[in-house]
Amino acid sequence: MSARASRRLLAALDTDEAPPADLRPQQVERLVAVSADVVEVMRDVFRGTSLLDDETMVRAVVETRHEVEHAWTSARASFVQIGRSLNRLDGMMRTKAERQALKTGFERLFPLSESIASQFRAVARAIDDGRLPEETCPASYSAAYQLALLEPTELDAARRAGLVSTTTSRATLIAFRKQLAAPVLAQVDVAALRAEMRRIDGRLERLAEEQQMLTSRRAEIARLLSAEAPDTSPQIF
């Protein structure tokens, strides 16, 4: 797709003109529903990247926004579909600059925060990877996210405990995760670790002071050497 074509697409959206005739009907329906404000936000969010020069990527952002907004408005429980849509869009981003631009401007494009969206993505990945069955995924996205954080062996333990269920609460799963971590903490000397951490903090502080002193001394030496540098300019007699 040419840069000129994608720019024409944005211009058409901005002026309520019809999109290019070769778009599928459902794409046209989605694109014409985008307001001039959204188009301006897209231009601002992705300024400095090449995304707006690619019609496919412009369409992908617009369509993903449409899907997310529709799912978010019609049924808050559609977090799995939202996560899948966002994961698909993330996978289409071609450069680090585009991914960073999307993350920075996320809340200007979508009706939810980036932190919540990251939980939706994690749950969708866990389901699509086969780690978490969709039919037994908790109805609460925050509870489902707690399951998505578990390692495979931990998830098996949660399943044996009957916690991989649509009715499991976030609080229950947080308590379960703390219970899993408790044996690990019991095997270590907590007091010794805290003492070691204090020693490390003290040493890091001393090293920082020493680095500051060395940096200052180096700058002073550089000034002295510069002042003592011989004059190598040609002499005129």
Tracing tokens 């966002």 back to the chain, one arrives at 86
Q: Which of 142, 131, 133 is nearest to 79 (CA)?
A: 142
Residue 46's contacts (CB-CB under 8 Å, 6 or more residues apart) are: 52, 61, 98, 101, 102, 105
Task: Tell me what pLDDT residue 216 has.
Answer: 86
User: What pLDDT is recorded for position 192?
Assistant: 81
**Residue 148 to residue 79: CA distance in whole angstroms:** 13
Task: Supply the pLDDT for residue 188.
Answer: 66
Q: Tell me the average pLDDT across 204-230.
A: 84
118-152 residue pLDDT tens = 999 999 999 999 999 988 888 889 999 999 999 99
pLDDT above 60 for 19: no
Helix ranges (H only) for 52-151 are 55-74, 79-92, 96-104, 106-109, 114-128, 141-148
Q: What sign does the CA torsion over 109, 114, 117, 123 have?
A: positive
- Give the pLDDT score at 66: 85
Distance (Å) of CA 182 to CA 11, 143, 185, 186, 195: 58, 20, 5, 6, 20
Q: Which of residues 102 and 13 earns the better pLDDT score?
A: 102
Mean pLDDT within 17-32:
44
Whole-number Å distance between alpha carbons of 84 and 123: 9
Contact between 31 and 20 under an 8 Å Cβ cutoff? The reply is no
Cα–Cα distance, 80 to 144 (Å, whole number): 10
Q: Which of 67, 22, 21, 19 minimizes the C-alpha distance to 39?
A: 19
> pLDDT tens digit string along 87-127?
999 999 999 999 999 999 999 999 889 999 999 999 999 99
pLDDT at 215 > cutoff 60 = yes
DSSP one-letter code for 34 = -
Phi-psi region of 224 (alpha: psi -120 to 50; beta: other; left: phi over 0): alpha
Distance CA 90, CA 108 (A): 16
* pLDDT value, residue 14: 46
What is the model's pTM?
A: 0.57
The confidence score (pLDDT) of residue 60 equals 92
pLDDT the model gives residue 191 = 79
Please indicate whether residue 57 or residue 37 has the higher confidence score (pLDDT): 57
Place of tokens 């062996």: 153
Q: What average pLDDT does range 53-77 have in this prediction?
A: 80
